[in-house]
Structure 1
């Protein structure tokens, strides 16, 4: 079915409320879900909403959590998500994050004790839409390792960067440190499709093209140790500096009753006057060299949800 952005938001909001979320949590979750769909990030849109609804029903997410927001310094914000969704904590501090960045030129947002952050680009994009440059990182329970480790030690630990442009869109980079995002492996398993050999190991630590075995095994980083090193850097920021769980200590976001209690780390920067125009011009120049420029897609006006997915969402909340 095809829904307007407002109707899609209402659909996600009602589903979250039925699953036990407070109005505040449901609003934040619906906004993030629809934002992902608007920008073509379907795997972390309504498909990922199912994970949140299941988490709310089984207790991995506290649907009534009230984030605790503190300001240790003029240019830093600390949030304890208290077992709730990461988006609610970010929303609680968003206005202060923007105003403090505008005033001081930079502001750091550090959140602990949250559920999986969902689409990481959601956080940086919102800041770019306010005219700011943003960098974000997050971790999850351990699902990624290396050929040498043969077992999970890190999350996929994505990194996102966003900056404003002059045409109404934002430049957004959002990628995992794994060779592919976990949701892509899970989707391949659901479709009965094989995966490339360099994506994952099975439970025995052997390379596999079987997506079902990969879901139960270990995802691999892009670029071998180089990708693993970036994952470690992000984990030090997202878990070490925030006080969130290290990936090795985090319960799964997909099963059980405990919150992963992981971290989200965001740095916002106020650019100099004329930055957006300079960036726009430079990106156009790079395209002339044949470069693929990621993340400049504008938002769409409608959201399309398959009847099967809509039925699953209704089934979870009925």
Structure 2
């Protein structure tokens, strides 16, 4: 089914408010969901909305939570998510974050006590679209083995980095610390397909290509200890600095009635403070790397996908739309 971005966002807001999310929370999650679909990140788009709805119904997410915002320092904005959606708190402070970064050169958002944040790249892109360089990190319940371990101690612990350029879309690097995203293993299990070697261990700590065994075991980091080190770095930024749960202490986002109380760290830097020509210099460098040296430039494919969907609409699975509409009829 093809839908315009506006129609999809309206449907999502209608569904999310109908199941119990506040209007503010529903708007924030719907906005991010559509953005993810525009970028081609379908696994954290409409399909992921049902995870949030399940979390609401089970009590893991407070759909009416009102984030508590404070300013511990001129260059820091702290958010207590109160057990709700991290998208809500971020939407409440993004204008303040952009303004502070441009006034002071940089500013960071540190959010704790919320559920997992969906597509981390969308947070970074929104800031680079405002002319800022962004570094973002987030954590959640344990899914990933640390260096030398066979038990999960970190979440997939993604990090996103984006920067504006003058003659094109922002550069965007958005990747997890794991060899693959958790949703990819879950989808493989649903399809009954094997996963590549090197993605996961089973519950006994042995390598497996069985996605169901992987879901009972632990994911592996990309690049061995290098990916695990990145996961640890993200853990310090997203949980240590924010005061959120360490991944080891975070309840599941798929079972039980407790919020994972995970963290989100977003740093915004205004490059114009140092060099007003930074966006132009970035464009020249990106073009040189891509055209002269054949370097793959992250983010360009997502930008092309977004431009296409903004003109032609978003293709959404019919069954997902039927399932959403059924929720408004209950």
Q: Give TM-score scaled by structure 2 length.
A: 0.94
Aligned to 1:285: 288
Aligned to 2:206: 206
Q: Could you tell me whether the CA contact under 8 Å between 1:136 and 1:267 is conserved in 2?
A: yes
Q: Could you tell me whether the CA contact under 8 Å between 1:121 and 1:161 is conserved in 2?
A: yes
Aligned to 1:312: 323
How large is the RMSD of aligned CA atoms in angstroms? Answer: 1.3
Q: Could you tell me whether the CA contact under 8 Å between 1:132 and 1:271 is conserved in 2?
A: yes
Q: Could you tell me whether the CA contact under 8 Å between 1:133 and 1:271 is conserved in 2?
A: yes
Aligned to 1:185: 185
Residue correspondences, number: 318
Cα deviation for residue 314 of structure 1 reads 3.8
Q: Could you tell me whether the CA contact under 8 Å between 1:15 and 1:53 is conserved in 2?
A: no
Q: Equivalent residue of 1:169, what SS?
A: strand
Q: Could you tell me whether the CA contact under 8 Å between 1:53 and 1:316 is conserved in 2?
A: no
Q: Equivalent residue of 2:82, what SS?
A: coil
Cα deviation for residue 194 of structure 1 reads 1.0
Aligned to 2:267: 267
Q: Equivalent residue of 1:253, what SS?
A: coil
Superposed counterparts of 1:28-47, under 5 Å: 28-47=28-47
Unaligned runs of 5+ in 2: none
Quick check: 32-41 or 298-307, which moved more? 298-307
Q: Give TM-score scaled by structure 1 length.
A: 0.97
Quick check: 147-156 or 239-248, which moved more? 147-156
Aligned to 2:279: 276
Hey, what's the Cα distance between the residues in 1 that align with 2:296 and 2:78? Answer: 36
Aligned to 2:299: 295
Greater share of helix residues, 1 or 2?
Answer: 2
The alpha-carbon distance between structure 1 residues 315 and 214, as it changes in their structure 2 partners (threshold 3 A), is: farther
Superposed counterparts of 1:207-222, under 5 Å: 207-222=207-222
